[in-house]
Amino acid sequence: MSGFPKVENYFLPLNKIKATNLHFILNEKEVKPLPSEAETVLDYIRSVQNLKGTKIGCREGDCGACTILVGDLQDGSVRYRSMTSCLMPLVNAHGKHIVTVEGVNFPDRLNLVQQAMADSGATQCGFCTPGFVVSLAGYCLSNQDATKENAIAAIDGNICRCTGYKSIERATDIINEQLKGKNDPIEFVVKNKILPEYFSEIKEKLQQISEETKSLIEIIKRPEAANKFFVGGGTDLYVQRHGDMKEDNSFLFNRRELNFISKEKNTCFLGPAVTVSDLRTSEIITTAIPQFQNFSKLVSSTPIRNMATIAGNFVNASPIGDFSIFFLALDAQIELDSIEKKRTIPLRKFYKGYKQLDKTLDEIISRISFELPSKNTYLNFEKISKRTHLDIASVNTAICLNIENGIIQKAGLSAGGVGPIPMFLEKTSTYLQGKKINNDTISGAIETMKTEISPIGDVRGSAAYKTLLLEQLIKAHLMPLLNN
């Protein structure tokens, strides 16, 4: 999948496909809506299909009441991931299996998840409940081991205001009991009557649709100037720019050729459609960066990670973009393509000012590359927010050190929330180079850091707090290395 697609192929103008029907499976049936029928999958399932089980709670991916499952073919089998339908452009459903709560209902009885929720008193007002049910149904359909931790992670994007979650936790215990011996998940849930039988027919249907999908992509693979947005996962655009999303945009999410994680020698390449979850499940990443699971668990929630792309996080240019911060420390390079030209710049030179990028409107990040950590590399990511999970950082920071014989050979330190852009702390990084790690070095790094940040007070904390916090987080980065 490391192929390097031609630049024309990035452009998917919606107006070319406005008159071309999309094609996907919604629960048990195939549907072919026009892209203009609804902006988001949420609006399509509620307003067009009249499936009211999927609820509207926030329209910004922060409550999970609208969670759906999205199934696609991966290595010959159907892989289901949860996503928030409020932030999912309808075109991104193309070629997929979309599952709403109605799609996990048996006609006359409750499924395993539903029965466990009901028996545990895990539903009170009920408004968030379908989201929980769908997320947990996705957990049953996943390859994950039936552990408490995995079950809870499956619902980390679902907010409940009534129960306090303890009854929901008890429901997951009941569910886990019944998932013992799960091997081939789809076969398992159908055989054990955990989910409706039609799930076993989806693979074949998706394969058929996949053929048609290809031809549709051929139709729309033509360059078109001045597209308004390149839409990746849409997880921020559909929050911040919702009103503008009716315009003709280019949608990258479904482009398989743009979704690659590859490795040449020690350099890792990421395609622009790579999501956070793709990274979390990539063997290349988990081998080279075993802590990546823990780092990325601090970033949004399972359904959002299933949609959000790394390139999107870069381009969004939020001063506290978690992956901008992470990859700044790693000194990632980004390749920018437009019809006229192609160039490569370091991510560290990408940010010019608040939400200002070194990128023209028609340029797209076509590839991200970075050196994978070696055995001499120390890599750490810290993020503090009001709520530990599914929150935006007050301050986040990453550090990448190459250490030989106790001396820092190369240092990359980045921090978010302390300036108008995701900051590479150049002075502090330079300061660290050539130093031994001891308390003096830590103090010196903190003093240097204070000369290059300019935090402002806002809803995520006062300037004084952010300064103190970054100071503490630099300690958190470096203290584990003391006495080594």
Partner 1 sequence: MKNIDSYTHVRGESIYLDDIPLQAGTLFAAALDSPIAHGVIKKLDYTEAEKTEGIVRIFTYKDIPGKNQIGSIIPDEELFAETNVHFSGMPVALIVGISPEVLRIALKKIILEIEQLHPITDPREAQKKGELIMQPRTFRLGDVASAWKNCEYIIEGISEINGQEHLYIETQGAYAIPQESGALRVYSSTQGLTAVQSTIASVLNISMSNVEVDTTRLGGGFGGKEDQATAWAVLCSLAAYHLKRPVKYSLHRMEDMRMTGKRHPYSADFKIGLNKDLKILAFEATFYQNAGASADLSPAVMERTLFHCTNTYFIPNVTATAYSCKTNLPPNTAFRGFGGPQGMFVIEAAIAKAAECINVHAAEIQHKNLLKTGDEFPYGQLAESEAHECWKKADTLFHFEQMQKDIDDFNIQNKLTKKGMAIMPICFGISFTKTLLNQARSLVHVYIDGSIGVSTAAVEMGQGVNTKILQVAATIFSVPAERVKIFSTNTYRITNTSPTAASTAADLNGKATEIACNEILKRLKQVAAEELKVNATDIEIKDEYVWIGGKKTVLNWNNLVLLTYQKRVNLSELAHYTPQQIHFDATKEKGHPFTYHVYGTAAITATIDCLRGTYEIDAVKVVHDFGQSMNKMVDWGQCEGGIVQGIGWMTMEEIFYDTNGKLRSNALSTYKVPDIYSTPKEITIHPLETKKENLAIFQSKAVGEPPLMYGIGAYFALRNAIKAFNPTVNIPIDAPMTPEKVLMNLYDKINK
* Planar angle of CA 409, 343, 328, nearest 5 degrees: 35
Q: Longest C-alpha distance within the chain, in Å?
A: 70
Compare residues 157 and 185 and give the one whose CB is closer to partner 1: 157
Measured between alpha carbons, how far is 255 from 372 in angstroms, rounded to an integer? 25
Smaller CB separation from partner 1, 8 or 119:
119
Interface with partner 1 in residues 287-326 (CB under 8 A): none
Q: How far is the CB of 134 from partner 1 (least distance, A)?
A: 9
Residue closer to partner 1 (CB basis): 187 or 197: 197
DSSP-derived letter for residue 93 is G
Helical residues (DSSP H) of 298-372, grouped into ranges: 302-305, 310-316, 322-329
Strands (E), 232-296: 250-251, 261-264, 267-270
Distance in Å, CB of 391 to partner 1, minimum: 6
In the complex with partner 1, the residue whose CB is nearer, 388 or 409, is 388
Could you say which residues in the range 121-140 bind partner 1, by CB under 8 A?
121, 123-130, 133
Which listed residue (67, 82, 92, 100) binds partner 1 by CB under 8 A? 100
How far separated are the first and last CA of the chain, in Å rounded?
40
Q: Residue 123 or 213: which CB sits closer to partner 1?
A: 123
Q: Measured from the CB atom, is 82 or 129 closer to partner 1?
A: 129
Whole-angstrom distance, CA of residue 483 vs CA of residue 288: 25
How near is the Cβ of 293 to partner 1 at its closest, in Å? 15
Kindly indicate which of the ranges 5-13, 68-76, 108-116, 396-404 contains the residues binding partner 1, using the contact rule CB under 8 A: 108-116
Contact yes or no for 312/232 (Cβ under 8 A): yes
What number of CA atoms fall less than 13 Å from residue 65's CA on the CB side?
17
Residues 452-471 that bind partner 1 (CB under 8 A): 458-462, 464-465, 468-469
Residue whose entry in the numeric block shows the structure tokens 């398992």: 188
CB of 315 to partner 1, least distance (A): 18
**Identity of the residue, 90 or 258, whose beta carbon is nearer to partner 1 in the bound complex:** 90
**Contacts of partner 1 in 11-70 (CB under 8 A):** 51-60, 62-63, 65
Q: Hey, what's the torsion of the CAs at 151, 157, 163, 168, to 10 degrees?
A: -10
Spell out where 254-376 has E strands: 261-264, 267-270, 333-337, 342-346, 351-353, 356-357, 364-371
Q: Which two tokens stand for residue 92?
A: 């991104």
Binding mask 384-423 for partner 1 (x = CB under 8 A): xxxxxxxxx-x-----------------------------
What does the block give as tokens for 129?
Answer: 């409940």
| Among the residue ranges 96-104, 341-349, 352-360, 435-443, the one whose residues contact partner 1 (CB under 8 A) | 96-104
What's the min distance (Å) between Cβ of 157 and partner 1?
8
195 binds partner 1 (CB under 8 A): no
What residues from 146 to 185 belong to the interface with partner 1 (CB under 8 A)?
152, 155-156, 158-169
The least CB distance from residue 470 to partner 1, in Å, is 11
- Give the 3-state secondary structure of residue 410: strand
Which of 34, 118, 219, 225 is the binder for partner 1 (CB under 8 A)? 118
Of 101 and 209, which CB lies nearer to partner 1 in the complex structure?
101
Instruction: State the nearest-atom distance from the C-beta of 396 to partner 1, in Å.
Output: 12
CB burial class (10 A; 0-12, 13-18, 19+) of residue 218? exposed
Q: Which of 254, 220, 307 is nearest to 14 (CA)?
A: 220
- Report residue 186 as tokens: 């789809």
Q: In the complex, what is the shortest distance from the CB of residue 460 to partner 1, in angstroms, rounded to a whole number? A: 8
H/E stretch holding 78 reads strand 77-84
Q: Which tokens go with 481? A: 């290395």
Helix axes 129-140, 112-119, angle to 10 degrees: 130
The one segment of 106-114, 305-313, 400-408, 420-428 that binds partner 1 by CB under 8 A: 106-114
Q: Please, which residue, 160 or 194, has the CB nearer to partner 1?
A: 160
142/366 with CB nearer partner 1: 142
Upper half-sphere CA count for residue 428 (Cβ side, 13 Å) = 30
Helix (H, G, I), strand (E, B) or coil at 324: helix
Minimum CB–partner distance for residue 454 and partner 1 (Å): 18
Closer by beta carbon to partner 1, 188 or else 465: 465
**Least Cβ distance, residue 409 to partner 1 (angstroms):** 26
Site for partner 1 in 221-280 (CB under 8 A): 239, 243, 246
